Every structure is written in C-alpha cells, then in structure tokens.
C-alpha cells in the first residue's frame, strides 16, 4: 500500500523581512535586507551589534490582548504565523475533525530571552518578581499547546528541537504522521525569539556571528569570499499540511506536494560539518529516494548556507557530490542573505519560500554575493531574483550537533503536464 500523499494548503510567516508571508516574499524577491542594528537591548558591549529583528509586529493584531500579554515573544510569533496559515488554508477544525488533526511547533531556544529578562529583574533574590507565566513562557512545547487550544486540535501536540534543523524536522514529522494515516491535517513549523544579550554573546563567543556592524544590510553574505559569520534573527513560519484526498474533498487550494523528507546525523563534531558534508549528502539522497526523484528532477535548491566560512563550502561540496553533472545546471540560493538565520524557525521559513519559488517560478536571490568563493562553482543566483520554472525544489537545514533535515516539494504530480523522472538515485 502506497503512503498517503501530503500537500501544503496554507502558509504564514513572521520574519525580519516582513510581518506576513506576502510582505516577506515581496522583500525577498526584491533583494531587500531585514538586518539592522540591534534595538531591543543595549548591545554596545558586544562584538556583534546587529541582528534580524522583526519590526512592526503587534501581537494584539493577531490574538486576544489578554493572551498576548501572557505569551513569550517566540510564542506570540508562533500563534500569529499559525493563525495566518490556518486562514490562508481556509481551514476550521470542527469537533468531528479534532482528533484527526495535530500540531508540531519547533523551537531551538524557546523562551531563553524571557529567562534572561527574569533573571535580570529578580537578581536571583526576589521570587515575587517572577511571573506566574514564566515557566510557561520558556517551555518549548507550549506554543504548540496554545495553537491546539486556539484551533480545537485534539490529536498529537509537541515540539521538536534540533538546533537549526528544528522546524524542518517538525515538517518531516508532520508529513510522516499523515502518511501513516494517524491524522489528516497538521499545523507545523517553528518559532524563535533568540535576540537577547546572552544569546548574541553566546553565539559571538563561538565566533559564529558576523561582526560587520558598520554595514548590517551587507553582513549576511553566503558564498561570498568576504563572509565572516551568520546574523542571528527571530521570527516564525507555520504551514498547514494535509492528506491530498482530505484537501481535495474540502476544495482546498493546494500550493505544492511535500514529496520527500530525509533526516540524518553526521556523528562527527558538535559544531563543524563532517568532511565533505557526508551527513548532508546522505540526507539529500534520502529525501530524493523518499520523493522517488532523480537528482536531475530538482530545479532549485534553497541552501542552508548561513554565511560561515566552513559551512557554505561544505554544503556546496555535498550538493555537487549528490547531483553530479546536474549541479552545474541547478540554481542554488540562500535567503539568509536577506533575513539572517532564524535558527530553529529557519527550516519552516525557507520551506515557505521554496514553495513560493515552485508556485511562482521566481527564484529568490543571494544578495551581497559580490565575489563568489572560488571553491563554490555553482549558480548561486547573485543579487537579483530570476524567472525559472520549477517542477521540484529542495530545501536544506543543517544544525549544530551534526543534525540534518532535507525537504523536497513538487507540483502535485498528477496535475503536472510532464511526469517527473521517477528513477531512484
């Protein structure tokens, strides 16, 4: 028996490039950066003083004001993006459907910023200064719980946590639940609000962040010879995934099919990729096998590419190893060049952008790519968006600890004019 087919019927996003998927996509395809000087705390003592903050977000625009005041920032982002995705999907969970729906929301740092603020406020000496909502604000699974309460979803509800692959794993887990006929619908994605003194200082201590403070919009520069680290960002993205037959029965608009998912571990080093990015090679191959596609069927890759000296080169080497001659023809770009790195939410945001590249035939650019690293011999879509019709796209997410997740989206196959190449790599 073939597994059930999984499709995307709704998407919502809150990013440094815009509050909502439409403004985010408009900014990304026009090459506009969302990186600026940090404004939410005094960063003057830090080596890195720039970040991708979400500006113009008002939680009360997306939820009840009383609830908004109780939630931590990452939870507010999750609730808002989830509301957008459900509205986009025109989906209301009825009592009859409640047990056949699920929520999976990933977060890498959860409520770390709330924990930091509480420690400052109490000085570790005043228990009366600790909010009764403090524990709920910091738990990574509570965003999923709030979404299940808001939408009456009574199936599984949990959080994933796998560093920068977190929300890609959330989408993959959601896909598997639907394929196994455990549920019909999953609201899945990730949310992150890591921009605080401790988190920025911590990533800075790892020497992972860019220090291009004088020119923030040009600080994130994947594949460029002058890259010096990633830019930490915040935000969220949520997608509605459905069984194809369920979506068709209710007349849903279908964006794309989630056709393949791969998940592997490098088992090599806690921060550095395996030589040749061996783990991500296996992950891409696993996703292609799952989608029953040859590498030549992929028309665009949204790279993990964070703008670090080691990671960008290793990822391209892995793509070249997996795609062979097709690597010379398939465009690869990094949307982190405009919005920075949303850590645990990055995979879901980039899944949304990959789906839009598939459906619109517009590839987001890699901005700030003024001088491509000689070790990177692929087409990285420099500076400007490009028209390019796609039948299948891949998006990569790789995290600290050597954790890898790869997703493959296609047009709904029986609605395509030309069948996909279905030989297994």
Would you say 223 and 371 are in contact if contact means Cβ atoms under 8 Å apart? no
Q: Is 199 a catalytic residue?
A: no
Would you say 148 and 157 are in contact if contact means Cβ atoms under 8 Å apart? yes
Nearest to 331 by CA among 393, 276, 391, 287: 393
CA angle at 332 for the pair 195 and 283, rounded to the nearest 5°: 80
d(CA 111, CA 45): 23
Q: Is 326 a catalytic residue?
A: no
Residue of 17, 151, 164, 169 marked catalytic: 164
d(CA 13, CA 189): 10
Alpha-carbon distances of 361 from 12, 28, 178, 403, rounded to whole Å? 20, 14, 28, 30
Nearest to 54 by CA among 230, 236, 189: 236
d(CA 235, CA 172): 20
Alpha-carbon distances of 92 from 13, 42, 178, 240, rounded to whole Å? 19, 43, 18, 11
**Residues 319, 397, 293, 393, CA torsion sign:** negative
d(CA 181, CA 113): 38
Question: For the residues of 124-167, what is the DSSP string, one character each?
Answer: TT-GGGS-TTHHHHH-TTHHHHHHHHHHT--S-EE---BTBTHH
Residue of 17, 62, 341, 380 marked catalytic: 341
Q: Is 341 a catalytic residue?
A: yes
The DSSP letter of residue 52 is B
Would you say 337 and 368 are in contact if contact means Cβ atoms under 8 Å apart? yes
Question: In sequence order, which residues have a C-beta less than 8 Å from that of residue 234 and are 6 or more positions away?
Answer: 16, 51, 52, 53, 54, 73, 74, 77, 192, 193, 194, 195, 342, 345
Residue of 304, 352, 380, 390 marked catalytic: 304
- Catalytic site positions: 164, 304, 341
């Amino acid at each position: 028996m073939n597994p059930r087919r999984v499709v995307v019927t709704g998407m919502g996003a809150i990013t440094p490039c815009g509050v909502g998927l439409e403004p985010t996509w408009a900014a990304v395809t026009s090459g506009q950066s969302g990186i600026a000087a940090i404004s939410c705390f005094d960063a003057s003592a830090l080596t890195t003083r720039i970040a991708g903050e979400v500006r113009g977000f008002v939680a009360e625009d997306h939820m009840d004001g009383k609830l908004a005041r109780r939630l931590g920032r990452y939870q507010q982002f999750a609730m808002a993006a989830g509301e957008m995705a459900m509205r986009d999907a025109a989906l209301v969970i009825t009592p009859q459907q409640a047990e056949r729906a699920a929520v999976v929301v990933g977060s890498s740092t959860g409520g770390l910023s709330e924990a930091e603020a509480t420690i400052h406020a109490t000085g570790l000496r005043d228990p009366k200064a600790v909010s009764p909502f403090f524990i709920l604000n910091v738990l990574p699974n509570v965003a999923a719980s709030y979404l299940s309460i808001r939408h009456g979803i009574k199936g599984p509800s949990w959080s994933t946590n796998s560093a920068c692959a977190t929300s890609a794993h959330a989408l993959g887990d959601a896909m598997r639940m639907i394929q196994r006929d455990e549920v019909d619908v999953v609201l899945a994605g990730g949310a992150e609000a890591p921009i605080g003194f401790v988190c920025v200082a911590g990533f800075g201590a790892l020497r992972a962040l860019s220090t291009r403070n004088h020119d923030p919009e040009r600080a994130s520069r994947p594949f460029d010879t002058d890259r010096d680290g990633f830019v930490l960002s915040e935000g969220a993205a949520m997608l509605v995934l459905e069984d194809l037959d369920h979506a068709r029965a209710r007349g849903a608009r279908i964006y794309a099919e989630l056709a393949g998912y791969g998940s592997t571990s490098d088992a090599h080093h806690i921060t550095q990729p395996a030589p040749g990015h061996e783990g991500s090679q296996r992950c891409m191959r696993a996703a292609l096998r799952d989608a029953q596609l040859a590498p030549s069927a992929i028309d665009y890759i949204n790279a993990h590419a964070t703008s670090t000296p080691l990671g960008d080169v290793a990822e391209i080497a892995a793509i070249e190893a997996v795609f062979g001659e097709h690597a010379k023809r398939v465009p690869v770009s990094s949307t982190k060049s405009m919005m920075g790195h949303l850590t645990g939410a990055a995979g879901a945001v980039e899944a949304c952008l990959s789906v839009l590249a598939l459906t619109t035939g517009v590839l987001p650019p890699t901005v700030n790519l003024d001088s491509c690293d000689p070790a990177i011999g692929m087409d990285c879509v420099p500076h400007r968006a490009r028209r390019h019709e796609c039948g299948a796209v891949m998006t990569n997410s790789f995290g600290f600890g050597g954790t890898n997740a790869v997703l493959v989206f296609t047009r709904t196959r029986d609605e395509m004019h030309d069948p996909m190449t279905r030989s297994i790599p």
